[in-house]
Homo-oligomer: A and B are copies of this chain.
Amino acid sequence: MSAQKKEIPYKIYLTEEEMPKAWYNLRADMKNKPAPLLNPATHEKMSVDDLSHVFCRELAEQELDDKTPYIPIPEEIQKFYKMYRPSPLVRAYCLEEKLGTPAHIYYKFEGNNTSGSHKLNSAIAQAYYAKKQGLKGVTTETGAGQWGTALSMACAYFGLDCKVYMVKVSYEQKPFRREVMRTYGASVTPSPSMETEIGKKINAEFPGTGGSLGCAISEAVEKATTTEGYRYVLGSVLAQVLLHQSIIGLETEAALKKYDIVPDVIIGCAGGGSNLGGLISPFMRDKIQGKLNCRIVAVEPDSCPSFTRGVYAYDYCDTGMVCPLAKMYTLGSGFMPSGTHAGGLRYHGMSSVLSQLYDDGLMEARSYKQTDVFAAAEEFARCEGILPAPESSHAIRAAIDEALKCKETGEAKNIVFGLTGTGYFDMYAYEKFNNGTMVDVPLTDEDIKKSLATLPKMD
């Protein structure tokens, strides 16, 4: 006889007391550890000292720590988290009804903060350690502006200076994002700029260039390493970022447990891997330990398919080739997604942690065309209310497809996906979709072969 089931509300919130007090470091429980970061010149293992020239010391330690399972969240960060967390775990009753599926669909919604995404979870942590180290400020790059916004908010809170190098074409085309950052007191410089050596060089070589993320990273790193009291911070890919993002998964786990819900499928979109890595971390632990039998699915755009069409190899993390080498699923640091690609998730590689898990067969991956992704976004928005970010909509597409499969088989599976953010600053892309002018340009094997030629030669 089963106990009386509690009715599941539309939104499951944890109380402040139930919020996680420590981040979870999945690497501690991985049987095969992620491959170490290497010096791009010498190909030797990076030490904490090496990394500390670029990153705050405590973050460098977190980056290399694959042993400590739980790292306490400092009080000050817990306090900031309480302003916009816990985020709700939402039961998508309306979407289920619309689809006519017996599946139960849940999404962890990270968009209810001004940065509009989960990026704030790591931004506040990185700003905190910079402040604790007595730094004056931090530098970073931003493309579309989500990460730059999150970091600006975090720096405003701790009274840190924040220098953001924003890809010039985005700086000009996304003035609203730029102004949000400026409202939080950040200085936003279009990249390439004339403030750095690398910027000057690129401006001289390519007059009038709109810039690239790779160039902006190089400028931000140069500025941090040549300015007294500054360090560089990064919003994805790194293991430290996945660590901070574990708050997403830990809250999800606690919310599901409150109602005795066992997930059958967990789905997340994957760019650099910060959201996916954070969401799945406690579930992956249980899966590794044989306590949970659950599918874990990474979803990527078919115009930037690192998992589904990339190779597992050491590669540069940035196109400027100044950052350490990481072993990851990659398309090559020279990879550029098609200009018609509007859906975000443009990074050429994938977190080393996730890459190892994927290589170990612990995760699945799939890719979708952007028009299919926007169709899912629209369907979701019209019944669940929330206008999702294009990135998040990759996970929506996969969740809908899984729920439709359940409709065929009659299974009442529990599907959990990460809704990483809102699409308010992505209306150019939605406009294309609404006007029917969004196109899918297939990525050829030839394209991939070309970009894989940029991989470093390893011994």
Instruction: Please report A residues at the B interface, Cβ cutoff 8 Å.
Output: 9-11, 13, 15-16, 79-80, 82-84, 90, 93-94, 112-114, 116, 153, 156-157, 175-176, 179-180, 182-185, 378, 381-387, 422, 424-425, 427, 430-431, 433-434
Contact = CB atoms under 8 A, between A and B. Distances in A.
Contacts of A153: 381, 385
A49 to B, nearest CB: 35
B13 A387 contact: no
Given A10-B82, A11-B82, A113 B385 contact: yes
A9 B84 CA distance: 12
Contacts of A387: 114, 180, 183
Nearest to A381: B183
Contacts of A10: 16, 82-83
A385 B84 contact: yes
A410 to B, nearest CB: 25
B9 A179 contact: no
Contacts of A176: 176, 424-425, 427
Given A9-B16, A16-B9, A83-B94, A381 B184 contact: yes
- Among A90, A184, A427, max chain B CB count under 10 A is at A427
A430 B9 contact: no
Given A9-B16, A179-B427, A183-B434, 10 more contacts: A10-B16, A11-B82, A84-B385, A114-B422, A116-B424, A156-B382, A176-B424, A180-B430, A182-B430, A424-B424
Contacts of A156: 381-383
A436 to B, nearest CB: 12
22 contacts: A9-B15, A10-B82, A10-B83, A11-B82, A79-B93, A80-B385, A83-B94, A83-B385, A84-B385, A114-B385, A114-B422, A116-B424, A153-B381, A153-B385, A156-B382, A175-B427, A176-B176, A176-B425, A180-B427, A182-B430, A182-B431, A424-B424
